[in-house]
Amino acid sequence: MKALTDVAQYCTFWIDGLFFGVDVDDVQEVLRHQPMTPVPRASEGVKGLINLRGQIVTAVDLRFRLGLPPRTGERLPMNVIVRSRGEVISLLVDDIGDVVDTDGLSFEPIPSNLPAKVQDVVHAVRPLADSLLLVLDSDRAVEVLAA
């Protein structure tokens, strides 16, 4: 089990202006918007099912998970495909950033004034030169039933 502080490289993305990062080792791939099959009666956090080369992947809307307003306008969400407890899940995000190397940068605890739903899925904060990277706990992030 890799300690939280061993992670140096993050795959980053934006949701509603917030800058998030997931350990690159947890990320399988990043995809543009994919056609989705909605799942009636499922939690609102589940936006649908994606055919990822024959594997059926559940798409979880991080906006819903974070308690943020739904996506508006023409922009289609992007998919960050992560592995969590043996399953492959797609996190729907607004925009994809670069892979960021944070070697040598400090870990800061989560500021307590962040909304509870954001705190719920964030491990820590890593201050970068020009922004604050919220380190996402992907196992927590895909628990839509807890939202």
Partner 1 sequence: MDDDAEIIAEFLVESHENLDQLDRDLVELEQHPGSRELLSSIFRTIHTIKGTSGFLALGRLERLTHVGETLLSQLRDGQRTMTEPLTGALLRMVDTVRALLDVIERTGRDDDPSVDVDPVIAAIEALLAGHVAEAPVAAVTQPVNGAVSGAVNGTVNGSANGAVNGVAQAVALLERPDAPDVTGPTDTDVSVPASREERTPAEPVVPPVAEEPAEPVHLPEPVQPVEPIEPAHPADEDPVERRTIVDASVRVDVDLLDQLVDLVGELVLTRNQLLQRTALAEDVELTRASQRLDLVASELQESVMKTRMQPIGQVWAKMPRMVRDLSHQLGREVDLVMEGHETELDRSLLEALKGPLTHLVRNSMDHGIERPDDRAAAGKPRSGRLHLRAFHESGQVVVEITDDGKGIDADTIASVAIARGVVSREQIARMDSREIVNLIFRPGFSTASEVTNVSGRGVGMDVVRTNIERIGGSVDLQTEAGRGTTVRVRIPLTLAIIPALVVGEGMERYAIPQANLVELVRLEVGDPNLERLDGAPVLRLRGRLLPLVSLGEALAPEGQNAAARRGDLGALTVVVLQADDVRFGLCVSEVHDTQEIVVKPIGRQLKSLAMYAGATIMGDGRVALILDVTGLAREQGIDPTVADTAELRSTEDDRRALLVLELAGGRRAALPLAAVARLEEFGRDRVERSGSAEVVQYRGGLLPLVRLAPAIGLPDTSDGQDTMSVVVHEIGDRAVGIVIDRVLDVVETAVSSSPVGNRPGVTGTAVVQDRVTDLVDLDSVVAWAGVSA
Q: Is 83 exposed, middle or buried (0-12, 13-18, 19+ CB in 10 A)?
A: middle
| Distance (Å) of CA 75 to CA 12, 21, 33, 69, 70 | 18, 21, 10, 14, 12
- Cα 19 from Cα 120, distance rounded (Å): 16
Beta carbon of residue 139, minimum distance to partner 1 (angstroms, whole number): 11
Beta carbon of residue 24, minimum distance to partner 1 (angstroms, whole number): 22
The contact mask relative to partner 1 for 5-34 (x = CB under 8 A, - = no) is ------------------------------
> Binding segment for partner 1 among 37-45, 73-81, 116-124, 128-136 (CB under 8 A)?
37-45
Residue recorded with tokens 């040598």: 104
Beta carbon of residue 142, minimum distance to partner 1 (angstroms, whole number): 7
Query: Tokens for 114?
Result: 């962040």
Cα angle 65, 24, 63 (rounded to 5 degrees) comes to 15
Within residues 115-144, the interface with partner 1 by CB under 8 A covers 142-144
The contact mask relative to partner 1 for 84-103 (x = CB under 8 A, - = no) is -x-x-x--------------
Question: 90, 85, 121, 103: which is closest to 27 by C-alpha?
Answer: 90
The contact mask relative to partner 1 for 39-58 (x = CB under 8 A, - = no) is xxxxx-xx-xxxx-xxxxxx
Beta carbon of residue 85, minimum distance to partner 1 (angstroms, whole number): 8
Contact footprint for partner 1 (CB under 8 A): 35-43, 45-46, 48-51, 53-58, 60, 85, 87, 89, 142-145
